[in-house]
Structure 1
Amino acid sequence: MKKINNTGARVFKKSSLTVALSGAILAGFSFQGLAAENDEIEKIERVQVTGSRIRSAEAMSSAPIQVVSGEAIDASGSLNIQDLLLENPAFGSPAISRTNSNFNTASAGVATVDLRNLGSNRTLVLVNGRRYVSGVPGSSAVDLNSIPSQFIERVEIMTGGASSVYGSDAVAGVVNFVLKDDFEGLEFEGQYGESSEGDDESRQFSFTSGLTSDDGKGHAMFHLGYSDQGAVFSRDRERSAVDQFSGIYFEDDPVANPGSIFDAQSPFLSSFPPQGRFSAGDDTFTYDANNNLQDSFSTNGGDGVGANGFNRSGVRTIAIPTERYLFASNGSYELNDKHSFFFEGTYASSTTNSELEPFPFASDDIYANGRVPIEFDVNGELLRNAFVPDDIYNAATDTDGDGARDIFFAKRLSDVGNRGARAERDTFRLALGFQGEITDNWFYDTYYVYGKTKESQVSGGLVNVQSFRQGLEAVIDSQDLDGDGITNEAICIDATARGFNCSPVDIYGFNSLSQGAIDFVSAPSTLSTSVEQEIIGGNISGDLFELPAGMVGIAAGFEYREEFSRSEFDALQQAGLNAGNAIPATEGSFDVTEYYVEANIPVLDSVTMNAAVRLSDYSTVGNTESWNVGVDWEVIDSLRLRATRARSTRAPNIDELFSPPSQTFPSGLNDPCLGITNSGGGAAGDACRADVGVANNIASNGEFTLNQSDLQGISGFNRGNQDLKEEVGDSVTVGLVFTPEELISGLDITLDYFDIEITDAIVSTPRQFILDQCYGGGDTSFCDFITRRSGPSGNNSAGSLEFIDSGVSNSGGLGTEGVDLTLTYATDIGPGAFRTRLAYTYLMDGYSIPLPGADKDEFAGEIGASEHKANWNFGYKLNDFDFNWSLTYIGAADFDDQFLSGFGIAPGGIGIGSVTYHDVQASYHINDSMELYAGANNLFDKEPPRILSGVSGSSTGTETDAGTYDPIGQSFYIGFRSKF
């Protein structure tokens, strides 16, 4: 093998890397310099790969790296890079996407990524090797909506710990977006698409230009992009058009019939109807479709009574409409032969609109005793409510002993309007720096990065609880209380409220609220957030000294980073007085100073070792340490073996540290007391009967029984913890790279084993775990987090769960283990060129541990974390035609074992089958500057697995796991690219 004299490179920018099979970077780059006639000197460009800051002539990595090329991005037709990345089996279901976040109180429509199912906060997102500002307040999760897909050169994905090189948050791995930097000329692109159902309309336009200064020293690129993705509503898909609920809650013997989880209770309408439901004495009233009062009510119909409930699915959204404007720019200028200045700038503006059903409002949202008075003592005279119908008034009694009749009501506030939020997000990022050559083979770069994300959100469909109460307490003004001389008008009793234009509220029947009442009670919620990031850093790298096998490469550097986040709702929302979640303001900041050193050591001609260590000093958790050691062995020309052992750390984010108690409404929970009778049930039975409310429920029904409102009426508060410390992740990767060029030219194979274990994991104790521990699990201290109703409250049963609180702590453990296989092959077949790429992941193990000493909660093989996942692409290019076919396979999966155990069903006892999606694209080059393309996603319109509401893993309104499976269906697009 010819020895190369490393005299140093004068080219500093990265060039395109030759990448073998889904991401092992296999080929180095060299440039022959012109020298004297007898001088054999080759000047080589030193490049950097994700996972290392050492510039090397060989782009090798001892850790697995997968690469998504710009060509693959073009061939996908994806408007958002998240859609393409999720096809890669290394990624788990995202915490937030356009199709699973409609019910989020904040960050709806944001696009995040999650490597290895370990959480988006453990996946570090970089742009050109540097951190990117978060798009989710209080966290490190980056909103991929702010990264322009058409401006991406490639995406490098490194799994396994990388904190020693990049710092906190890289426990699961790194996703590095490398932007284009060497384009010259002009490029236009336009695309339009829609689903086969006629919705999910999408359009995007982009313009990219690149130019070089006359003296050749300066180069700059600019990109402008616009995209718009339309809404998809639950009512427009057959599986989700009507409210339904898992039949497992109503099956007498789920063990004997585990398939009951598929038996939907349909319709399973809401008992909060827009016409109102009224309990007066022993009678229940509602209104029929003609707005006539009737003395019977049936939510879902039966026994000769029609359904009076409300179909929430008629309003819910599957895919949130998202509009984006993007600007990106980068450039460099050579100050002299050895030093240059560079800059990167990004601005993204996005608008999302979430929409869901009108608010379900009831007496117990207003009055502590859950009863609404319909008589009022006014100056010693008992006056009745101005609007209460005679039949309801006559049936009403005094249930709270205050001498006045009262009733219970429940009403869907359709008059006020649908709930939903319009969120406007802006992300700005600027990176400036210098880079160059200190001496031969010694390079440096320094940089300053500033990023800011801000969000302004306005939510509708909510009401001011105090105003609603003032409006309800209205009578006919027979005493002329307001002094206007009119004695037959309805007025609010409270004189102070009248001074604020109180308008009487009529809750009886469809469209009963006047416009004045709507204006008086409406309380739009506002949210203002800000995330700021500021970074100063520098690196040097070069050859330290020479060993018999080659030069020892080294890199060292520092980084100082400040993070700030603030999230603040309006005062009513913070106090929970607009009938929504009580969400206090969250604000916090931290700074960290870090130093690292990395070495690349050629032990033998065929064996190279690398090692790195990083020391960090956080203002919150103090000192942390991360490190890694790796080896790369070229066994023969066609076979390389590689291994890495790493320790990574993740410091707690601002939300985890500083979040005050904020209200949430969890779903998919199983109450251990359900079905408990006066005797039996073991320890769980004893613990349940010890609760007064549960005992009263059993006395009334013979066993503990829950109704529909109970299942939908659980709330709780999440809390931060300023005593948190960092979590530690230990990872091992071992793999081989096989390139049998002499046997099969064009074939590359990599096989990698990964094992990641996280200790002291920062987790919110799962609410199901809290329930199971309190009721028969042996740790009654968890009962302090649970509040049950002592007696009937409005429409809820005695003993039903009202609040389950949870907080974060370093009490958890996480782990995942598996194997990645990737294969690429390219060859000429017939008159054209054939190419194929396979990426397959076998998830051997995946688990979480709620508390030290607790049993593992296995998630490998469950919905969202199938054991087998793969993506297989085929392409064929013939002259000016290019065709691509992509298959994404998601293996069979089980329902969450913790959820099933509550019904006596063993883990793995029930699940869903595998799913394969087919995407195709064909393109034609009309000439050298014009290309037309068209494609179809989910070509065969594969329906997602049926995962009903009420079952763990279901995304509300979609009747499936919309983060894992396609809830939209078949769609088509057409577009063009023009380059000059």
Structure 2
Amino acid sequence: MKMLIARRRVDWLQILVGMGALALVPFLLPLQAQETDSSDADEAELEEEEVQETDEPEVADQGREEVLVVTGSRLVRDEYTSIAPLQIIDSETSREAGLIDAADVIQESTQASGEQIDLTFNGYVLDDGPGASTANLRGLGAARTLILINGRRLAPAGVEGAPSNPDLNLLMPGSVVQRYEVLADGASAVYGSDAIAGVVNVILREDFDGFEFDVFYDLNQHSKIGSTTYTMSWGYNFDRGFMGFGSSVQDVPETTLDDVAFRSNCDRHVERDQSGAIRQKDMFFPTVYKMRWDDCRLGLITSRVSMGAPLYSIYPTPGFTNVGIPGWSDSTYPVPVGIHVLDGDGDGYADFSFRDFDLNGRTGHRSYYPEVKRNNFMAYGEYTMLGDLNLTPFFEVQWARRAIFADSGEPQLFPDVPANNPFNFCNPQAEGGIDCIQTLIDGSAAIFSLPEVREAFLSRWSFLDPIPGGSCDQFFAPFGLTCAEWWLAPVGWYPGMPLQMVPIVSVNGDRNTVDTEVTQSRYVVGASLNLPFMDGIGSLNGWSGQVEAVITRSLGKSSRLGIRGDRLNYALGWYNAAGIPCLADATAPIGFQTRYELTPDVTDGCVPVDMFDPGLYRVGAGVVGDFATKAERDYLFDSRDFDTEINQSLVTAFMSGAMFDLPNGTVIGSYGFEWREDEIVSLPDDVARDGLFFGFFVDYGA
């Protein structure tokens, strides 16, 4: 009798302590439905989507039936009683469809909608850095989609900035995945704002049959370039547990735009007219500008010089000019009404076409799909001990690495060049320079004699005939101006004045490539157990619990090559009033061009840069140019490097089970807590931190 009384006292003590702790949970652990970058984040976790397979006993005329038990939200339900929309993707089925990588399986699921960030996003500024692949459910974004492995949160990974989302490229080997569960229902009340869109839970295999080795070869039908994936798995099942190992190695060669046959060497023009017909040839530039055109759309125009109004840009035409500046021409000339297309040879077409200087179709070395090398390893297992508690310790060890090289193509380079720069051909005081303003005035007089230009003037001002000696010249003669000088006067130009120029070129190897490497290590240890002492207390039944600790560390590195804006401005002469390259004095103008700090890294080894060298201005297939000398290139180019480390520590404990019955079913409850600490150290070099690349963004890291 004493033993029975003592035992019942222990049971009631456990019950009181347990219920007291549960009653305090809502007050001690409020849910957080927002993202946080603090080092400590306490999160109350009540629910988590998870699916397990169990076998029902044999039933007559039905054979052996497998039932998916949905333990989503930590609440055990079958697929029929779960109110949340759930998609189950079997790994074997996905392999038969040719989807080996977890990233491909998740991003091509029916619940994934909206923009899916993958390895084809080259040249974009991404939240998780270059080379990241993220999941986006219901079009709400990766920041609102939670990724779990065996019901446990996956930590962020990436490089540059402050990555906040898991990288699907760093998931486990596909050979150890049993299925993917996609919960397309908001779970923000449980996990916070990163689960508003839904949850993706990757369930690992628990049954092994010795050693398995697979080789997958994927040949692209358009590029004829193949990728190879090697996967390995080994495991051992024993009476009360299992242990499994898996590894994968993937090598994906780079596919460039030139390798893809369906591109037809450029991005094609496509438009729909008012009748619904599809047009694949641009009609605007051939009709309005009278330019010869192909089937490509207009991209970025380079190999030109912007002079400002009224001509705006002039283009290199060696041995020919239609504006008076030797070797340079424009497509149109400004007139009071409409535009006048310059056709010097009278063939009915403009003297050149924008397509001659267009980057579209001339950067075929760009990555259509980057070069990718991936390695993944995972070991995990569990063992159920004897006893009523069914205490089951478990562990997971995961390591993954991705190395990616991508080429996004050379962008435009368009620095301001001082008017008195010694290489500026519109600087009359420079060696070889000319008086561009007087040249334009003289050229305008000849253009004003053309019938269509004269008609445009007279239709606007009937009393101003622009022909030499006409009423326009007579009208402005008392002011000491000719008609052409008056036409240029509103922009503040006068003969003998040097012009500030903006060359617009593309330089080989400038800001177009990025090398990234990211590794992630993840360690999980914990135990699950039954709580039989809860059974029979009122209507409580079938309670179980789990406690786990997860430590994750991610290391990322990235490197880019490009032209530094501070060195370029210093080499162009912006740091002194005389426009002398590589010289700084107190006469330097205050403005956008002199915003950079002149450190020894800028001033030492400076080389004057000629932004008007013919090597930078090419026509046709070779429109991407280069500097005149290797010394200029060596001085201007630098690397932009970034190191990012992300650490996450996570401790979770919860218990769940049946609470009481209602007419329509059993009410299931779950209680628990989660402690999480996130730490990010994202360190840019001075080029990234201060935005020293020309036209490139500033990244302070985190």
| TM-score band, normalised by shorter chain | 0.5 to 0.7
Q: Is the alpha carbon distance of 1:578 and 1:140 closer, same or farther for their aligned partners in structure 2, counting shifts above 3 Å? A: closer
1:124-139 correspondence runs (5 A): 124-135=146-157, 138=162
Q: How does 1:790-805 map to 2 (within 5 A)?
A: none
| TM score, norm. by length of structure 1 | 0.47
Give me the identity figure in percent: 22
Q: State the shift of 1:52 in Å.
A: 3.0
Pick aligned residue for 1:517 from 621, 629, 632: 632
Q: 1:465 aligns with which of 554, 565, 569?
A: 565
**Counterparts of 1:306-705 in structure 2 under 5 Å?**
307-315=355-363, 316-337=366-387, 338-364=390-416, 371-375=418-422, 405-417=498-510, 419-439=512-532, 441-460=542-561, 462-473=562-573, 492-493=582-583, 500-507=604-611, 508-510=613-615, 511-544=626-659, 553-587=668-702
Distance 2:68 2:78 in 1: 6
Runs of 5+ consecutive residues of structure 2 not aligned to the other structure: 1-48, 59-64, 284-294, 333-340, 344-348, 442-490, 536-541, 575-579, 586-597, 616-625
For 1:192, what is the secondary structure of its paired residue? strand
Post-superposition offset of 1:303? 1.3
Q: Which has the higher helix share?
A: 2
Q: Is the 8 A contact 1:29 1:57 kept in 2?
A: no
Pick closer, same or farther for the CA change 1:96–1:174 going to 2, 3 Å: same
Shift of 1:464: 1.4
Instruction: Give 1:117 shift.
Output: 1.7
- Matched residue SS, 2:73: coil
Q: Distance in 1 between matches of 2:175 and 2:319?
A: 52
More relative contact order, 1 or 2 (CA 8 Å, 6+ apart): 2
Mapped to 2, the partners of 1:455 and 1:263 lie a distance apart of 45
User: What does residue 168 of structure 2 align with?
Assistant: 144
1:92 maps to 113
**Paired residue type of 1:169:** D
Alignment of 1:817-896 (within 5 A): none
Tell me, yes or no, if the aligned pair for 2:507 and 2:627 is still in contact at 8 Å.
no
What is residue 29 of structure 1 aligned with on the other side?
A: 55
1:801 corresponding residue in structure 2: none
Shift of 1:434: 1.2
Change in Cα spacing, 1:241 to 1:373, as seen in structure 2 (3 Å) is: farther
CA separation of 1:320 and 1:394: change in aligned 2, threshold 3 A: farther
* SS in structure 2 at match of 1:169: helix
Structure 2 equivalent of residue 115 of structure 1: 137
Residues 726-760 of structure 1: per-residue CA shift (max 9 Å, x gap): xxxxxxxxxxxxxxxxxxxxxxxxxxxxxxxxxxx
Within-5 A mapping of 1:31-70: 49-55=70-76, 60-70=81-91
**Conservation of the 8 A alpha-carbon contact between 1:235 and 1:314:** no
Task: Return the offset for 1:341.
Answer: 1.4
Aligned CA distance change for structure 1 residues 50 and 400 (closer, same or farther; 3 Å): farther
Q: CA deviation at 1:225?
A: 0.7
**Could you tell me how far 1:405 is from its partner in structure 2?**
2.4
- Is the 2:402–2:517 Cα contact (8 Å) retained in structure 1? yes
Distance 1:339 1:26 in 2: 18
Query: Is residue 415–residue 503 contact of structure 2 (8 Å, CA) maintained in 1?
Result: yes
Instruction: Report the secondary structure of 2:519's partner residue.
Output: strand
SS at match of 2:195: coil
Amino acid at match of 1:195: N
Give the conservation status (yes or no) of the 8 Å contact 1:50–1:156: no
* Per-residue deviation, 1:334: 3.9
- 1:153 & 1:329 partners in 2: Cα distance? 15
The alpha-carbon deviation at position 555 of structure 1 amounts to: 2.5
> Cα–Cα, structure 1 residues 154 and 247, in superposed 2: closer, same or farther, change >3 Å?
closer
Q: Is the 8 A contact 2:406 2:515 kept in 1?
A: yes
User: 1:27 & 1:247 partners in 2: Cα distance?
Assistant: 50
Q: 1:568 to 1:26 in 2, by over 3 A?
A: closer
Q: Normalising by the residue count of structure 2, what TM-score does the alignment of the two structures yield? A: 0.64
Alignment check: 8 A CA contact 1:448 1:536 kept: yes
Structure 1 residue identity aligned to 2:327: Q
Root-mean-square deviation over aligned CA pairs? 4.5
Q: Would the aligned equivalents of 1:91 and 1:117 in 2 still touch at CA under 8 Å?
A: yes
Are the aligned partners of 1:92 and 1:116 in contact in 2 as well (CA < 8 Å)? Answer: yes
Higher-strand-fraction structure: 1
> Against the structure 1 CA distance between its residues 391 and 115, is the aligned structure 2 distance closer, same or farther, given a 3 Å change threshold?
same
- 1:442/1:311 CA distance change after superposition, 3 Å: same
How far apart are residue 127 of structure 1 and its match?
A: 0.8
Task: Return the offset for 1:74.
Answer: 1.9
Evaluate the alpha carbon distance shift between residue 468 and residue 416 of structure 1 in structure 2; reply closer, same or farther with a 3 A threshold. farther
**Partner residue of 1:295?**
328
Specify every segment of 5 or more residues in structure 1 that has no aligned partner in the other structure, as ranges: 1-22, 33-43, 249-253, 475-489, 588-980
User: Which residue identity does 2:564 align to in structure 1?
Assistant: N
1:277 aligns with 2:305: yes
| Bigger radius of gyration among the two | 2
Amino acid corresponding to residue 421 of structure 2 in structure 1 = I
Cα offset for 1:169?
A: 2.0
Deviation at 1:339, TM superposition (A): 1.5
For each residue in 1:533-570, what CA deviation from the matched residue of structure 2 results, as whole angstroms up to 9, or x when unmatched? 32211111234467799875432211122334454543
Over 3 Å counting, the alpha-carbon distance change for 1:336 and 1:164 in structure 2 is farther
Distance 1:297 1:354, change over 3 A: farther
Distance 1:329 1:59, change over 3 A: farther
Instruction: Quote the residue 1:962 is aligned against.
Output: none
Query: Partner residue of 2:253?
Result: 230
**2:124 aligned with 1:103:** yes
Count of matched residue pairs: 522
Offset of 1:500 from its aligned partner?
0.7
- The residue correspondences of 1:714-729 to structure 2 (distance < 5 A) are none
Letter in 1 for 2:175: Q
SS of aligned partner of 2:551: strand
State whether residues 216 and 230 of structure 2, in contact with CA within 8 Å, keep that contact through their aligned partners in structure 1: yes
Deviation at 1:406, TM superposition (A): 3.4
**Cα distance between partner residues in 2 of 1:237 and 1:454:** 33
| Closer, same or farther: CA 65–404 of 1 in aligned 2, 3 Å | same
Alpha-carbon deviations, 1:373-404, whole Å to 9, x = none?
A: 32499xxxx99667x66697996999789997
